[in-house]
Amino acid sequence: MRFLKDSIGTWWISIVTGMIIFVSLSAFAVDFGKINDPYAGFNTLRANYHDEMNKYFNEKLEKLVEMVENDEMFYDRAEFSTPVNNNGITDASMCTADNVSSYCVSMGALDVYMTYVRTLTQVQETLDIDPEIVIQDLSVQSLMGDTTSRNNEIAQEIIEAEEIMEATMAAYNEFRMAYPMHIQYQEVLENLIAYRRKLRDLQFEVNRFPGKFINTTTLECR
């Protein structure tokens, strides 16, 4: 349990909000049934968790890209911004499935991670018994050794999963800030290319005129 407190304390978003408020599980397209069953086994839980977290961030990235590319006023959309209640306080309960703000995405990821950690903690409280092995054939020493080894793996997985989540969230936040600038840069570049083409066409027309006009001040025809 100490790790859970340390984990929450180190999570950067808590610095902004001052407290952790878990998002409704139904708000995001994550199959929590795959990561909250302690009887599924550690290896299965680990594979399911990373698969679900990967799908979660991919979905958020797709929504972000679609919003930026299809709506010139995306900066003004509520789904792009951190939700704030009537008292001017950031409110995680107002995060929707379509919200792509760094705050809401991080809270959703944290919800998935904490569900995973709670399940792994339950797994650590069970014995590591291979269902294909007859329990009478196991010695107490062997059973305890396998369980200790598995629990050490779980403890390491909890730490590494948090590090991966934080790194992924940092990458998402950078992408969220950089991608709109990238789109604007592309538009500017396309406009500059079009301007250069127009300027080249104009220069071609200008070059058709003579470089000098002889006796242009005379009124006589020659």
pLDDT at 153 over 70: yes
Stretch 123-141: mean pLDDT: 64
pLDDT at 38: 92
Is 60 exceeded by the pLDDT of residue 12? no
Would you place residue 222 in the very low, low, confident or very high pLDDT band (cuts 50, 70, 90)?
low
Binning pLDDT at 50, 70 and 90, where does residue 47 land?
very high
Residues 28 and 98: their CA atoms lie apart, in Å, by 9
Is 35 strand, coil or helix?
coil
pLDDT value for 80 = 87
> Three-class SS of residue 171?
helix
pLDDT over 50 (residue 86): yes
- Is the Cβ–Cβ distance between 90 and 83 less than 8 Å? yes
What are the extents of the domains in the chain? 2-131+139-183
> What mean pLDDT value characterizes the chain?
77
Residues in the chain: 222
Closest residue by Cα to residue 107 from 193, 20, 32 = 20
Across 35-43, average pLDDT: 91
Strands (E), 14-82: none
More confident residue, 129 or 5: 129
